[in-house]
Amino acid sequence: MAIVAADYIKPAKKLGLNTTPTVVGPEAASETFKKGAVLVPSAGYLSEAGADPTNILGVALEDGNNGAAGANEIGYCPALPGQVFEGVIGAASAIAQTDLFTKYGLAQDGGTGVWYIDTSETTTVSVVIIGFKDPVGTTNGKVYFVFIADGRFID
């Protein structure tokens, strides 16, 4: 099963929070990211992360606007300790029981632009899987994860 646009990262559950936090911030110039993109701070603006991101500010709740720096504000869900996100195991990987409570990195699908949990990245890690939405054995299955302290911009 291939990664599709509907597989974008999204807020899922809250650990001790009453509502899903949402924040708006100024978008960097020429940003064409899709909803669910991993965002990092860049000179006072929100920008889509590069490969193997750390310093993650949050996840985009809408598509980028491809405008001038600061011309648009973009909504995002901050990568806070109590916020659980839903995403897919990517690169044609299947969910394994050993993925539970394991730290992984994030990567972006070259075809769809969708961000996914990269189970082959165990060096530059930014998330930990805390639950399964889909059953073990599902290729590109959905999982629940949180951003770890080493991967978050916000402590």
pLDDT in tens, 5-64: 778 888 887 777 678 889 999 999 999 999 999 999 999 999 999 999 999 999 999 999
Instruction: Answer whether residue 112 shows pLDDT above 70.
Output: yes
52 found inside a domain: yes
Closest CA to 2 of 119, 117, 136, 139: 139
107/149 Cα distance (integer angstroms): 18
Does 135 lie in the same domain as 116? yes
For the chain, what is the domain count? 2
CB burial class (10 A; 0-12, 13-18, 19+) of residue 122?
exposed
Instruction: Answer whether residue 2 shows pLDDT above 80.
Output: no
**DSSP-derived 3-state class of residue 8:** coil
Tokens representing 52?
């193997």
Query: What pLDDT is recorded for position 12?
Result: 84
Tokens representing 39?
């965002």
Chain centroid to Cα 72, Å, comes to 21
37 found inside a domain: yes
91/143 Cα distance (integer angstroms): 14
Neighbour tally for 17: CB within 10 Å: 14
Does 106 lie in the same domain as 60? no
86 found inside a domain: yes
125 found inside a domain: yes
Does 48 lie in the same domain as 73? yes
86/90 Cα distance (integer angstroms): 13
Does 73 lie in the same domain as 52? yes
Does 89 lie in the same domain as 68? no
The domain containing residue 143 runs over which residues?
5-10+81-147
Look at residues 26, 44, 78 and tell me which one is the last residue of a structural domain. Answer: 78
In this prediction the pTM is: 0.91
**DSSP-derived 3-state class of residue 83:** strand
Does 66 lie in the same domain as 25? yes
Do residues 142 and 134 make contact, with C-beta atoms less than 8 angstroms apart? yes
Does 69 lie in the same domain as 87? no
